[in-house]
Amino acid sequence: MTTAPEIREPRSTTVTGRIDPSYKRSGGPKGSFEMAAWLFMRLSGIVLVVLIFGHLTVNLLVGKGVHGIDFGFVAGKWASPFWQFWDLAMLWLAMLHGTNGVRTIINDYAERDAVRFWLKMVLFAAAIVIVILGTLVIFTFDPCPQGVTTGLPDFCPAA
């Protein structure tokens, strides 16, 4: 008679189902921050579905679709505060959602305190740079740059 293979306990829980103290990442409970972060992932996920599929539909399906995307197309979109706000919301939500998701993965998988700390520092620094750069691009974008005569949106004097 063969015996069933033994299934070992997941490394982070004890037989009682409690987290093994050696895998506890920090001292006490972290208040409501992790709860808020959990809720934020769900809520931002729902909003992102609308923002991302709206973005894909307008850019890839409507009008000339993907073949219509050029400098003039982007310039025309960002001439409207509506699309500026749409893209800003998409940038901020995707970055906060993605950064918080990767933060969770780092907390789950990086076992050494120093490794966890530095991975998160690199993650947060990268997120801050991308959010600031992206926001600047959306609001400082010049649809009618001096000296350019082709590929401009219709409303530029040089077009």
Mapping DSSP to helix (H, G, I), strand (E, B) and coil, where does residue 38 land?
helix
The DSSP result for 38-73, as a single string, is HHHHHHHHHHHHHHHHHHHIIIIISTTGGGG-SHHH
> Is residue 110 within the footprint of ligand HEM (CB under 6 A)?
no
41 scored as a contact of ligand HEM (CB under 6 A): yes
Please tell me what DSSP assigns to residue 84: H
Chain residues 89-108 in contact with ligand HEM, contact rule CB under 6 A: 94, 97-98, 101-102, 104-105
Segment near ligand HEM (CB under 6 A); pick from 24-32, 39-47, 125-133, 141-149: 39-47
Residue of 39, 43, 52, 56 interacting with ligand HEM (CB under 6 A): 52
Q: Nearest approach, Cβ of 147 to ligand HEM (angstroms)? A: 36
